[in-house]
Every structure is written in structure tokens, then in C-alpha cells.
Structure 1
Amino acid sequence: MPIRNQIEAITQTLTGQPAFIYGTVNEINQLADDASFPCVFMYPLQPIGISAQVNGSVDNNFSVYLEFLYKTEFDQYTSDNETYVNQALRMANEFIVKASKYREGDGRYFRIKAGDKAKCLPVYNKFDVNSTGVNLTITLSTMYYEAF
């Protein structure tokens, strides 16, 4: 099952129940026109790190880029949108906490260690529909790997 399914499942549990859209920049820009907001936009995974382990298994590390956005008006100044940035930052923080607790089967699906760094930047006037919030770049390591 693609990792985006787990990420979408996590976003559906966030406060405010944001919509979820996945795709390339062009696809997302088109899909955003009809999206309900708030919305979490997920871009294709790049890169995927593969790490061989001593026990013969392989860990996969996924670099995930998400945007947590609210719809805004075209005539608003940056300072008028700070509320949306703060709300989106709260949603991004909630996503990280819930991703670290997300379970599939008997165990957690992702490993997020204390001290792991993620980047989060404000985003203003994004897409044709005009939306504001934050982007989040985080590395998620899967807990379930395969031994061959």
C-alpha cells in the first residue's frame, strides 16, 4: 500500500478535518480550484532512503513534503494572513504527533525520534485559489520493513 494512504489517514484525524490532495505541482494547482479548505496537499515522495540493517532487513526513509493551507482572499496583506499561518502551524504540529502514534496492525507505522528535525515555512498566496498556511518537510521512517 502506498505511503500516501497512511499519510492521508493521519490527516483525516486532524482537528478541523482538512481535505487531502495528492499530486504534482500542476495537478495540485488544478485540484485546489475545487478543494474544500483547510486542505493538506501532499507532493510525490523524493527521495526515498534505503538503509540495510544488521539483521538482514531494510529500513525505508521517506522525505515527505506537505502543505497545510487555508483559503484566503486576494486583497489581503501578509499581515492579515498571520492567523492562517498560526492555525496551519498548529495543524502541522498535530500531524507530526499523530504520525508518530499512527498504528497499523499491532505496532506503530512510522518512527519519529525525539530531536528529529522537520522544516516548516510560511506559505502565502499559493495556487490560483489563493491560500495561505505552512509547508512541512519531514523524514518519516517506516517501522515495518521486510527481511529477505
Structure 2
Amino acid sequence: MPIRNQIEAIAQTLSTSVTFVYGTANELNTLADDAAFPCLFMYPLQPIDVSPQINGSVDNSFSIYLEFLFKTEFDQYTADNETYVTQALALANEFIVKASKYREAEGRYFRIKAGDKAKSLPVYNKFDVNSTGVNLTITLATMYFDRFA
């Protein structure tokens, strides 16, 4: 099952209902025109780290780039949009906590260790519909691995 399905499942558990939208930058710009905001935009996976292990398994770590955005007006100044940045950052923080607890079958799906770093920056005037929020770049290591030995 694609990782984006797990990300969408986590997005559906957030305390603020968000629309999940997946695609390339051009696709997201088009899809944002008809999306119900707030949205969680997921871009295609960044590099995947593949780590062979001694026990015959392979661990995968996925670098994921997301944007948590609220629709804003074209005539608003940056200072007027700070509320949206604060709300979006709260959603990004909640997403990290929920991702670390997300379960599939008998165990957690992702491994996020204390001290792992995620990066987030404010995003202003994004897409043609004009939206504001934060981006989030995080690496998620899957707990389930394939054993080939």
C-alpha cells in the first residue's frame, strides 16, 4: 500500500478536518482551485533511504514534504495571515504526534524517535487560489520491513 494512503489516514484523524490532496506542484495548483480548505497537500515522495540490515531485512525511511494551508484573500498582508500560520503549525505538530502513534494491524506503522528533526517554514500566497500556512518536511521510518533471507 502506498505511503500516501497512511498519510491520508493520519490526516483524517486530525482535530481540524482537512482535505487531503496529493500530486506534483502543478497538479496541486490545479487541484487547489476546487479543494475545500484547510488542506493538507502532499507532494510526491522525496528520496527514500533504503538500509539493508544484517538479519536479511531492509528498512525504509521516507522523506515527506507536506503543506498545511488555509485559504486567504488576495488583498491581505502577511501580518494579517499570521493566524493561519499559527493554526497550520498546530496541525503540523498534531500530525507528527499522530504519525508516531499511527497503527496498522498489531503495531505502529512509523518510527519517530525523540530528537528526530522535522523542518517547517511559513508559506504565504501559495497557489492560484491564494493560501497560507506552513510546510513540513519530515522523515518517517516504517516499522514493518520485508525479510528476504
TM range (shorter): over 0.9
- Where structure 2 has 5 or more consecutive residues not aligned to the other structure, the ranges are none
Following the alignment from structure 2 to structure 1, what is the Cα–Cα distance between the partners of residues 24 and 15?
Answer: 25
Per the TM alignment, residue 46 of structure 1 is displaced from its structure 2 partner at its CA by: 1.2
1:70-96 CA distances to partner (integer Å, 9 max, x unpaired)? 000000000000000000000000000
Match in the other structure for 1:62: 62
Match in the other structure for 1:90: 90
RMSD of aligned Cα (Å): 0.4
Per the TM alignment, residue 15 of structure 1 is displaced from its structure 2 partner at its CA by: 1.3
Per the TM alignment, residue 52 of structure 1 is displaced from its structure 2 partner at its CA by: 0.7
Match in the other structure for 1:103: 103
The code of the aligned residue for 2:103 comes to R
1:88-120 CA distances to partner (integer Å, 9 max, x unpaired)? 000000000000000000000000000000000
The code of the aligned residue for 1:56 comes to G
Per the TM alignment, residue 64 of structure 1 is displaced from its structure 2 partner at its CA by: 0.1
Following the alignment from structure 1 to structure 2, what is the Cα–Cα distance between the partners of residues 7 and 55?
Answer: 28
Per the TM alignment, residue 16 of structure 1 is displaced from its structure 2 partner at its CA by: 1.3
Match in the other structure for 1:133: 133
Question: Normalising to structure 2: TM-score of the pair?
Answer: 0.99
Match in the other structure for 1:122: 122
Aligned length: 148
- Where structure 1 has 5 or more consecutive residues not aligned to the other structure, the ranges are none
The code of the aligned residue for 1:125 comes to N
For 1:22-41, what aligned pairs fall within 5 Å after superposition? 22-41=22-41
Following the alignment from structure 2 to structure 1, what is the Cα–Cα distance between the partners of residues 56 and 143?
Answer: 15
2:70 aligns to what SS in structure 1? strand
Question: Are 2:140 and 1:113 aligned?
Answer: no
Following the alignment from structure 2 to structure 1, what is the Cα–Cα distance between the partners of residues 104 and 122?
Answer: 31
Could you list the structure 1 runs, at least 4 aligned residues long, displaced by more than 3 angstroms after superposition. Answer: none
1:14-34 CA distances to partner (integer Å, 9 max, x unpaired)? 011100000000000000000
